[in-house]
Amino acid sequence: MSLGLEFLFEVECLDAAPESCHTSVSQGIVSPTTLCGPEGSSSCDTRTHDAADMRARPEEHCEDNLDGLDETMDGLQLSVTNMMSGTMLIEEAMEELRKERDKWEAQAKEYAKENETLRKRLIARASEDPAFPSDVVTRLNRLEPENQRLRTENNALKKELDTAEREYATLCYENEGKGRKLKGANKKVRNAKNVAAQEEEKAKEAVHDKNQRLASERKMRKERNEALAELEKLKKQCAGLRADLLIERSGDAHLRDDGTVGDETTVAIPIEFKIHRGDFHKLRTMFQSNQMIVRDKLERWYREWRKPEEEGRTKVVGANYVDAKNNIGVDLYDDEVTVPEELGGEYPRTGAEHDEWRSKRGLEAVCRQATATDNALQ
């Protein structure tokens, strides 16, 4: 059985692998010289090349292959006579080789038929189109493999184009995704800018409101100070009026605070007595007429009383008398003696020290007016 396998290996070597024909079978009787002929490796190489060319031109090499198979069978028959112990194995190998020969013969017939069919088609095509000469047909036949090669390259390029289109579609999809992300980022940026603008507007409004509030506070503070000053002024006026009211209601004779600083002023001598309420409206006119009569009498009495006193009275320095017309524009302190300052000098008297017409009440009125003016300026 091993011998038959070795023979099959040597037969397959002729068809499949030419270089394997150079190797010998390690176990068996048949050698490369028996299979390849008396020439040895050179004839084996020739058969190997013929077997390789058989695929390219099967119609030309089928007979050579059959001859090779016949020679191999002859060699096998010679070897079988020398090996009595392996008769059955050799017969089986011969049967296998016969089957292989029949197979090759069938393939040779098929290739011959196909070759004849192609030759007839070529002749028919050339006869149908006599406008093309034989050299053109030959060139066309030569161009057919090139056309086939170009078609193959075209198919490969189409596949590459499909791959590129798929990659392009993938990149477009990725670009669309990134574009959507970019749009979302731009939208977020716009929203952030809008929020920042709104916050800035709010901050500006807050600063404006604060400035307005500060301005209004300053204005209100100023108005409050003015109101407080006016209140103090009114309080002082109320205090003065209250003092005047108390003096008026006291029933005592007093000087009126008419705001003048001259030597002459108004004296008020209230007259009070009990009367029935209903009689007042009846006697009101009589009271007014009697008041005028009494006032005239008092004025005449005052003038009569003043005449002898003015004749023997010494005038006070600093006092302005109505009848002292010749002293207008004259220094009133000429008759005073000024004490030197190194002796702790003193200012001359101005008449305020004398309890004459400049009473304490008159000075209080002047002081109140000056204080009110000073507070109003503050």
Per residue in 247-271, pLDDT (tens digit) is 888 888 888 877 777 778 888 888 8
pLDDT of residue 198: 93
Q: What is the mean pLDDT of residues 80-101?
A: 75
Residue 74 falls inside a structural domain: yes
Confidence of residue 85 (pLDDT cuts 50, 70, 90): low
pLDDT exceeds 70 at position 31:
no
pLDDT of residue 360: 62
Three-state SS sequence of 227-261: HHHHHHHHHHHHHHHHHHHHHHHHCCCEECCCCCC
Long-range contacts of 279-284 (CB under 8 A, 24+ apart): none
Residues 369 and 255 in one domain: yes
Mean pLDDT value across the chain: 72
pLDDT exceeds 50 at position 36:
no
Q: Which residue has the tokens 């078609």?
A: 151
Residue 133 falls inside a structural domain: no
pLDDT of residue 57: 52
Q: Is 40 left (phi over 0), alpha (psi -120 to 50) or beta?
A: left
Per residue in 189-205, pLDDT (tens digit) is 999 999 999 999 999 99
Residue 137 falls inside a structural domain: no
Angle among Cα 223, 227, 233 to the nearest 5 degrees reads 145
pLDDT exceeds 70 at position 53:
no
Total tally of structural domains belonging to the chain: 3
Residues 6+ apart with CB under 8 A from 248: 254, 268, 270
Per residue in 266-306, pLDDT (tens digit) is 888 888 888 998 888 888 899 888 989 998 998 998 888 88
Lowest-pLDDT range of 5-9, 169-173, 327-331: 5-9
pLDDT of residue 378: 60
Domain that holds residue 37: 2-128
Residue 115 falls inside a structural domain: yes
Confidence of residue 37 (pLDDT cuts 50, 70, 90): very low
Residues 265 and 312 in one domain: yes
Three-state SS sequence of 287-305: HHHHHHHHHHHHHHHHHHH
pLDDT exceeds 50 at position 28:
no
**Integer angstrom CA distances of residue 68 from 21, 71, 104, 265, 304:** 14, 5, 12, 174, 192
Residue 236 falls inside a structural domain: yes
**Higher-scoring residue by pLDDT: 325, 78:** 78
Residue 158 falls inside a structural domain: no
pLDDT of residue 159: 93
Lowest-pLDDT range of 12-16, 73-77, 176-180: 12-16
pLDDT of residue 332: 46
Residue 29 falls inside a structural domain: yes
pLDDT of residue 118: 82
Residues 312 and 327 in one domain: yes
90 touches 83 (CB < 8 A): yes
Residues 122 and 207 in one domain: no
Percent share of the chain, pLDDT over 90: 22
**Higher-scoring residue by pLDDT: 341, 134:** 134
Residue 360 falls inside a structural domain: yes
Residues 268 and 227 in one domain: no
Q: What is the mean pLDDT of residues 57-74?
A: 61
**Integer angstrom CA distances of residue 81 from 11, 78, 91, 172, 324:** 20, 6, 12, 79, 196
